[in-house]
Amino acid sequence: MLSGDLRGYFGAKVSVVVQRVDRDRDISSCIKEIQNHKPDIIGFSIGLGSLELAESLYKQCSDIQLCGDQAPKLVLGNKIPSYYPKDCIDRFPKAAVVVGEGELALRDLVEVVRGNILIKKVSNLVYKLDNGVLEQNKSEEAPDLKDLDYPPSVDTVPEIVKRGGNALVQASRGCPWSQCAYCTIFSFRGGKRWESFSNERIIANIELLVAQGITEIEFADDEFLGGRTSVRIRRCNILVEAFRKIRERVKDFSFRIFLEPSTIYRSNDISGNEDIRKLLQELKSVGLERVYIGVESGSNKQLERYKRDGRLDVIKGAIKVLTDIGIDMDAGFIMFDTFATLEELQDNIVLFRSLPKGSNTWPFRPLAINEGSDYLKDCIKWNVKLTKNLSYMSYTCDYFDPSVRLIAQTIDAVSLHTRTLFYALKRGSTMYYSDKKRTDSIRFCQEYVNRNSDIYIDLLEELVFSAQKGILDTANLIIEAEEKLKKLVAEVKKSVKDVLIDDPDYFLHDEITRIESLHVLIDVPPVATFSASSLRRIVIVDLDHTLFDSTAVRRKCAEQAIKELGLSEKIENEALDLYCRCIYDNYADYELNKFPDFRVVWNTAESYRVLLALIELGIHPQNYQKESESQGFYLRLRGMIDDIYQQYSSKIKKAQDIFWKTPMVLYDYAIEFLDNLKNDSQYNLILASEGDNICQGSKIKYLGLDKYFDSDHVKITGKALAATSLKVMAERAYKEIQKKIYISRKSMFELNITNTENDNLKNEIIAKVKWYYKILEVIDWIVLYALSVYTKNRIVDRLSVLEIANSQIEMPGDKVQVLMIGDRWSDMEPYTHLCRQLHTVQIRQGPYMNETIGKADYCAINLQEIGVYLSKSDTWVKILPMDIENLPEKGMIDMDKNISRELKTLSRTKNLKAVRSLAGEICRMLNIK
């Protein structure tokens, strides 16, 4: 848009280069372009969600001296800089910010560089003076679009033509309504409403695109028509004739437009409705395939709160018009907002289900509270606590209704790991809107996002229904939804693997791999079921460095694989270990800094890509630490890793195969140790290993351990185990409280309510039940928190290893002895949270043999010594059954107030310490140790 205006206005006096930077990997090529062209001005258009990417680019280009003694002027534009000029200048100290629409300001900045005007004459510009003072030049309204004659450039169009898809055209700016509570269009344009570019410019823009090979246009207007007046309709009829001429040359020319429902239909304007209907039919005849309309809500109360132009009758009327004409539609929809109620959610679900299939595939979208919107002012008025998100120019806040809050949090928790994957598929489904141009890949994407949408609307409906009944049981509903998602992700994986879905950048492949690495939605062993009599002695055994030396195996496998990669001559033997350390330690730290909540799961392909990238960059392992501290190091490394994937993909695959074909050997005494335990009926063996399911499962298979541990006795837990105690005790407390409510209700029902004494007793029971429900509300929140916030890569079988034992111990006096064997205390310590007492033995072998013993009950040299130790039954610790006592009567009212206060705090802060504290408080009340 801006580059076309500068070229048209200045002609040969300026040279403009447009560079797309969508991901980290694009930064290095952008830097090369800057160095090659030596610009006087560098402009960053910082759209929603791109602030961090812009900062990464800025760090690498801000110090470039290109134009004599002067660095290029850096100019920031788009919505984020416009609404937050000071914040942006703080982050980009050498930059100036153009506020609002940028054509006129950029023209003036070019004149500043040419020496024709002073910078203080540039309107709508914010910048720092030499003394550090922030200066804001004179503000002027948005330019008259009739004066912007020059069509946008087509620099990036060849990329679109190459990959396939539609191109964007802007025929107007602004909105004729401009009053929606959440919208920023009116404030961004400085109070100007809808305004059209000249028809000549619009047609010239489309002709340029068609000449480049584009056959489908998406008009990115906030409102294509600009209203229902005769003037607006005449303008559009001129465009219709122009489209008709284009269609004579380009038979499959097609386009999509954005319209307000109130533009299409108004219940009190029959003649206007007919005029719009005829216009839409004409547009369809010249290529209109789809219309996007802002439905936003199925509740009149919510629509009123949003200050929409029209209520449900208008929305339904607009949908009917489009359906009758045979024009497909997309529907904008906002399911949640801060003040939403259960009734409004129910109305939303009903309308959402009535929409044409595929018109909206994202039913769980919450309202974005944007800077500059009236909705933000309403939140401030009601003292709503807001959290600012600069990168998206919006605020997040809590929900007033606690049931709506829990439903929204549940939906967010379930979608957390897979929404990036399905949003990518959603984008893939919209490459073309014309059915004739839609490839099989696009159809597959559409099918998957439709089914994903169905899962969430079903879950949402179940949650609302149960909340209206008074008991919101999220746990079972989450499990059911995730089972559906698991199957759907597996189908997507197969379609990507079979090349039924296009994945040129391997984005979908990488997303699916990431999901699997987090233990989410992957096939896992079921929870083991034992009879109580068999639970006499449980031995939990760690895998890596306890049963076999995984480091030595990895070293040997790597040697063989490196030969396949052709790197034998490039890496001296003594450097190999150092390279492995760089890969498995330092680079892992970098990944953990980016994703601190997730366990970094290494597969061999990723390891080799990092290794090849280090060598390609000429970084010796001895210099790795120093290099890693340099500016932009990880961006260069990440970019090289992505390049390596393309260059060495076939060799990496062969190296992977060699890695897993290299024999793996157990430690001495391991087989004898396992045989003795397996053959002794008093022992139950459980293998509990930290790591990713695929990798650890492969080790178990290759080491032949599956004959000692069947699938029910293998628990691959990852980092989540340390947090699982929170979820386990919350779930146990939840079940017990539900029992107490049932018993209390039954007692109340059996009372003779005509008796005054029984009335008093009934009131006491009612008070107790209300308190029970208050605890249930807190426990629900704790379980949700454990599932979605802290244990994002949650334990695969949902219950801890020791829960298997504890859940089966019901008879008084029953005893179970549990032992954990591992090579390092940090791996065993999490298990101590899952039971009252656990006996631990630390084995001193492998790479951690010199680690501090920690708090283990016993230290052994090897497995043979542990075998001897096991025979000494008097050293074992008894694990008593978990008894749930009645709730204490004393202090009930105080506790009720305390829980209410804590719940309020938790819902605002999501503080893990507070969650743990409250969970512990509830369990103390229930006498759960």
Residue listed under structure tokens 């040299």: 861
- What are the distances in angstroms from CA 249 to CA 208, 210, 280, 628? 14, 10, 22, 56
Residue 210: exposure state from Cβ atoms within 10 A (0-12, 13-18, ≥19)? middle
pLDDT tens-digit profile of 169-190?
999 999 998 889 999 888 888 8
Give the mean model confidence (pLDDT) for residues 821-835. Answer: 64
Model pLDDT, residue 928: 44
Per mean pLDDT, which range of 195-204, 251-260, 404-413, 798-807 is the poorest? Answer: 798-807
- Give domain limits for the chain: 1-140+815-822, 368-399, 401-521+530-535, 546-582+609-616+639-664, 889-926
Give the tokens for residue 585. Answer: 């330690």
pLDDT at 789 over 70: no
Model pLDDT, residue 778: 59
Residue 759: which pLDDT band, with cuts at 50, 70 and 90?
low
Give the mean model confidence (pLDDT) for residues 460-489. Answer: 82
Model pLDDT, residue 887: 31
Model pLDDT, residue 607: 64
pLDDT at 258 over 70: yes
Give the mean model confidence (pLDDT) for residues 13-32. Answer: 85
pLDDT tens-digit profile of 109-152?
999 999 999 998 999 999 988 888 888 888 888 888 888 889 98
Residue 520: which pLDDT band, with cuts at 50, 70 and 90?
very low
Per mean pLDDT, which range of 152-161, 495-504, 522-531, 686-695 is the poorest? Answer: 522-531
Q: Which residues, listed in sequence order, are joined to residue 45 by a DSSP beta bridge? A: 77
3-state helix vs strand vs coil in the chain, percent to 5: 55, 10, 35
Per mean pLDDT, which range of 553-562, 735-744, 907-916 is the poorest? Answer: 907-916
Percent of the chain past pLDDT 90, that is, above it, reads 27
Cα–Cα distance between 448 and 451 in angstroms, integer? 5
Q: CB count, 10 Å around CB of 875?
A: 14
Q: What is the dihedral of CA 450, 452, 458, 461, to 10 degrees?
A: -90
> Pick the residue with more confidence: 386 or 899?
386
Q: CB count, 10 Å around CB of 344?
A: 24
Give the mean model confidence (pLDDT) for residues 643-667. Answer: 70
- What are the distances in angstroms from CA 678 to CA 279, 458, 587, 682, 874? 80, 46, 40, 9, 21
Residue 919: which pLDDT band, with cuts at 50, 70 and 90?
low
State which H helix or E strand residue 347 sits in: helix 342-354
Residue 327: which pLDDT band, with cuts at 50, 70 and 90?
very high
Per mean pLDDT, which range of 159-163, 484-488, 697-701, 885-889 is the poorest? Answer: 885-889
Model pLDDT, residue 165: 80
pLDDT tens-digit profile of 396-413?
888 888 788 888 888 988
Residue 454: which pLDDT band, with cuts at 50, 70 and 90?
very high
Give the mean model confidence (pLDDT) for residues 484-506. Answer: 90
Residue 629: which pLDDT band, with cuts at 50, 70 and 90?
low
pTM for the model: 0.59
1-140+815-822 under CATH 1.10.260, yes or no: no
Q: CB count, 10 Å around CB of 728?
A: 24
pLDDT at 40 over 60: yes
Q: What is the DSSP letter of 878?
A: E
pLDDT tens-digit profile of 48-100?
888 988 988 888 776 565 444 455 688 999 999 999 999 999 999 888 999 99
Model pLDDT, residue 202: 95
Determine the length of the chain: 929
Per mean pLDDT, which range of 377-381, 611-615, 667-671 is the poorest? Answer: 611-615
Cα–Cα distance between 626 and 812 in angstroms, integer? 62
Packing angle of the helix pair 550-564, 649-661 (nearest 10 deg): 140
Model pLDDT, residue 232: 94
pLDDT at 848 over 60: yes
Percent of the chain past pLDDT 70, that is, above it, reads 63
In sequence order, which ranges of 416-538 are alpha helices (DSSP H)?
A: 419-428, 440-469, 474-497, 507-517
Q: CB count, 10 Å around CB of 377?
A: 11
- What are the distances in angstroms from CA 792 to CA 269, 406, 511, 787? 53, 17, 15, 6
pLDDT tens-digit profile of 217-241?
999 999 999 999 999 999 999 999 9
> Pick the residue with more confidence: 767 or 122?
122
Contact indicator for 724, 787 with CB cutoff of 8 Å: no
Q: What is the DSSP letter of 705?
A: G
Contact indicator for 793, 518 with CB cutoff of 8 Å: yes
Residue 159: which pLDDT band, with cuts at 50, 70 and 90?
confident
> Pick the residue with more confidence: 618 or 881?
618
Per mean pLDDT, which range of 141-155, 588-602, 704-718 is the poorest? Answer: 588-602
Cα–Cα distance between 292 and 279 in angstroms, integer? 16
Model pLDDT, residue 902: 55
Model pLDDT, residue 32: 85
pLDDT tens-digit profile of 642-654?
676 666 677 777 7
Average pLDDT, rounded, for the chain: 75
Task: List CB contacts of 839: < 8 A, sequence separation 6 or more.
Answer: 817, 818, 819, 820, 857, 858, 875, 876, 877
Q: What is the DSSP letter of 387?
A: E
pLDDT at 857 over 90: no
Most confident of 488-492, 572-576, 858-862: 488-492
Contact indicator for 207, 250 with CB cutoff of 8 Å: no
| Cα atoms in the 13 Å half-sphere on the side-chain side of 729 | 25
